[in-house]
Amino acid sequence: MEIAIVTGASNGLGREFVFLLDKENLDEIWVIARRTKLLQALQTAVKTPLRILSLDLIQRTSLDELQRLLLQETPAVRYLINAAGFGKIGKYDEIPLSALLDMIDLNGRAAIAITQISLPYMAANSHILEICSVAAFQPIPFFNVYAASKAMLYRYSRALAVELSPRQIYVTAVCPYWIKDTGFIPIAQQAKSSTYFQHFPFAAKEADVARRAWQSAKRKNTVVTPSFFACLERCAAKILPHSLMMRLSILFCRL
């Protein structure tokens, strides 16, 4: 049985990737998120059978459950897309510690664990897409833990791509700039007192980001910045000192 696994499939980028995977003639797509009804509704929009896995990936038991299911079904995992993630904007003392730890657990630990759990079931010409962010390229004041969690996933992805190249398993770190039409920004802005990052100029659309990321992953690229501003930020973070990039992001976040 050939499958894809998509985390964060109930909404936003994850759901867009399910639409793209629907054209891949897979036997099943395993879709993971907490909102079961949204996952069930997705079945009406795609022809590939979906296996609904209602899991909270912050819980370690969810990772055990996925590992057990893989052991039981022994599928060939042709695609793994780790899109589940969230961020919280705010000053260091505006965001509850529990939210900071959940961000690390979901964006970093869960994505890495699911990759490790899936790898024994992947053969040559399989693809892994780790949804990182341009936030991975530099430290970001008032989005500090989010940026750090994405830097972790980004660095893991890049190193893993090198380790897996002899097995011809392709790893792509997808690094979008702001996306305007997913659930991400409203969730990120929930720190009520926060006055940082209130406007999101040049934000991209989820369908464009997913399509560009998908095409680039198919070309076996190890990093994709799927919009002009994502490319610009990546280049700037390579050339300019991070101290200057942080000053610029402070100016930018008050726009």
Find where tokens 């280049």 sit.
235
- Measured from the CB of residue 186, what is the shortest distance to ligand NAP in angstroms? 8
Q: Which two tokens stand for residue 186?
A: 């409203």
CB of 206 to ligand NAP, least distance (A): 6
Q: Which residue is nearest to ligand NAP (CB)?
A: 12
- Structural element, H or E, at residue 4: strand 2-7
- How far apart are CB 43 and ligand NAP at their closest, in Å? 15
CB closer to ligand NAP out of 77 and 131: 131
Instruction: Tell me whether residue 187 or residue 248 sits nearer to ligand NAP (CB atom).
Output: 187
CA distance 186 to 200: 12
Shortest Cβ 123–ligand NAP spacing (Å): 26
Least Å distance between CB 109 and ligand NAP? Answer: 11
Classified as helix, coil or strand, 50 is strand
Give a three-class secondary structure readout of 128-163: EEEECCHHHHCCCCCCHHHHHHHHHHHHHHHHHHHH
Instruction: Read off φ and ψ for residue 100, nearest 5 degrees.
Output: -65, -45
Q: How far apart are the first and last CA of the chain?
A: 50
Residue 238 CA to chain centroid, in angstroms?
22
Instruction: Indicate the residue among 39 and 169 with the shorter CB distance to ligand NAP.
Output: 39
* 38 vs 104 by CB, closer to ligand NAP: 38
Which CB, 77 or 209, lies closer to ligand NAP? 209
- Interface residues with ligand NAP (CB under 6 A) are 7-8, 10-14, 33-35, 38, 56-58, 83-87, 106, 131, 133, 176, 178-179, 182-185, 187
